[in-house]
Amino acid sequence: MLATFLNSPLKRRYVGAVLLLAGSVAAALGVLTYLLAAGTLSVAAFASLALADIGAGTVACLMLLRRALDRFSAPLRAVTASLQDTADGELDSSAFRDTPELLELAAAVNAMRKNLRSSTISRDYLDRLLSSMAEALLITDAEGKVERANAAAVELFRQDEPALIGRLADDLILSSDRRRTEGVASRPREGTVLRPDGTTVSVSYTVANVRDGDKVQSKVYAAHNIDERKRVEQRIRYLARTDSLTKIANRMQFQHLLQQAIARARRTQQYVAMLYLDVDRFKDINDTFGHAAGDASLEVFARRVLAELGDNSHAGRLAGDEFAVLLTGFERLDAIQQHLNELAPRLLAAVGKPFQVHGEEIFMTASLGVAIYPRDGDNVIDLIRNADAALYAAKKAGGNCFEFYSSDMNTEAVERLMLKSKLRRAFERDELRLHYQPKYRLTTGRVEGAEALLRWDLPERGLVFPSDFVPLAEETNLILQLGDWVLNRVCADYRAWQRSVPSPCRVSLNLSLRQLQQRRFLDQVRDTFRAHGVSPTSLELEITETTLMEDPERTVRILDALYGMGLHLAIDDFGTGYSSLSALQQFPISTLKIDQSFVRDVAIDRDDAAIVDAIIQMAHSLRLEVVAEGVESEAQLAFLHRHGCDYAQGHLFGDPMTADEFCELLIAESAGTGKYRRLFATAEA
As a whole number, mean pLDDT of residues 655-684 equals 81
Angle between helices 43-87 and 10-37 (to 10 degrees): 170
Closest CA to 602 of 546, 653, 571, 645: 645
**CA quadruple 237, 241, 242, 244: dihedral sign:** positive
**Cβ neighbours around 523 below 10 Å, total:** 10
In Å, how far from its chain's centre is CA 647?
A: 20
Backbone φ, ψ for residue 182 (5° rounding)? -115, 150
Tell whether 252 and 208 lie within a shared domain. Answer: no
Q: What percent of the chain has pLDDT over 90?
A: 50
Is residue 23 very low, low, confident or very high in pLDDT (cuts 50, 70, 90)? Answer: very low
Choose one of 225, 252, 279: the last residue of a domain.
225
Q: Given a cut of 90, is residue 326 above it in pLDDT?
A: yes
What are all long-range contacts of 480-483, with beta carbons under 8 Å and residues at least 24 apart?
480/514, 480/515, 480/518, 481/427, 482/432, 482/454, 483/511, 483/512, 483/514, 483/515
Residue 180: which CATH number? 3.30.450.20
> If you write DSSP's letter for every residue of 563-587 in order, what string do you get?
HHHT-EEEEEEETSSS--HHHHTTS
Tell whether 290 and 405 lie within a shared domain. Answer: yes
Tell whether 188 and 175 lie within a shared domain. Answer: yes
Say how far apart CA 151 and CA 130 lie, in whole Å: 8
Could you list the residue range(s) of the whole structural domain that residue 485 is in? 415-684
| DSSP, res 401 | S
Tell whether 35 and 84 lie within a shared domain. Answer: yes
Tell whether 394 and 536 lie within a shared domain. Answer: no
- Note the pLDDT of residue 380: 94
Angle at 376 between CA 374 and CA 381, to 5 degrees: 90
Tell whether 303 and 246 lie within a shared domain. Answer: yes
Tell whether 517 and 665 lie within a shared domain. Answer: yes
Q: Given a cut of 70, is residue 126 above it in pLDDT?
A: no
Tell whether 307 and 400 lie within a shared domain. Answer: yes
Q: Work out the end-to-end distance of the chain between its first and last CA atoms, rounded to an integer number of angstroms.
A: 89
Choose one of 363, 379, 410: the last residue of a domain.
410
Tell whether 266 and 148 lie within a shared domain. Answer: no
Strand partners, 372: 273
**Cβ neighbours around 215 below 10 Å, total:** 8
User: Which H or E element spans position 599?
Assistant: helix 596-599
> If you write DSSP's letter for every residue of 196-218 in order, what string do you get?
TTS-EEEEEEEEEEEEETTEEEE
Angle at 334 between CA 328 and CA 336, to 5 degrees: 20
Is residue 125 very low, low, confident or very high in pLDDT (cuts 50, 70, 90)? Answer: low
- Note the pLDDT of residue 112: 63
Which is more confidently placed, 575 or 486?
486
As a whole number, mean pLDDT of residues 23-45 equals 46
Angle at 306 between CA 302 and CA 308, to 5 degrees: 125
- Note the pLDDT of residue 392: 86
- Note the pLDDT of residue 27: 44
- Put simply, whether the predicted model's pTM sits higher than 0.75 gets the answer no
Comparing 281-290, 292-301, 555-564, 620-629, the range with the smallest average pLDDT is: 281-290
What's the whole-number average pLDDT of the chain?
A: 82
Tell whether 434 and 320 lie within a shared domain. Answer: no
Tell whether 537 and 422 lie within a shared domain. Answer: yes
Any idea how long the chain is?
685
**Cβ neighbours around 40 below 10 Å, total:** 11
As a whole number, mean pLDDT of residues 365-371 equals 95
Task: Give the total number of structural domains in the chain.
Answer: 4
Residue 402: which CATH number? 3.30.70.270
Residue 679: which CATH number? 3.20.20.450
Closest CA to 585 of 187, 85, 71: 187
In Å, how far from its chain's centre is CA 131?
A: 25
Choose one of 394, 410, 426: the last residue of a domain.
410
User: Which H or E element spans position 20?
Assistant: helix 10-37
**Cβ neighbours around 389 below 10 Å, total:** 21
Q: Given a cut of 70, is residue 304 above it in pLDDT?
A: yes
CA distances (Å), origin 158, targets 201, 206, 247, 293: 11, 20, 39, 53
Backbone φ, ψ for residue 78 (5° rounding)? -65, -40
- Note the pLDDT of residue 20: 42
- Note the pLDDT of residue 199: 93
Comparing 175-184, 269-278, 477-486, the range with the smallest average pLDDT is: 175-184
Tell whether 242 and 367 lie within a shared domain. Answer: yes
- Note the pLDDT of residue 365: 93
Q: Given a cut of 60, is residue 349 above it in pLDDT?
A: yes
The answer to whether residues 602 and 639 touch, using CB atoms and an 8 Å cutoff, is yes
Angle at 263 between CA 260 and CA 268, to 5 degrees: 120
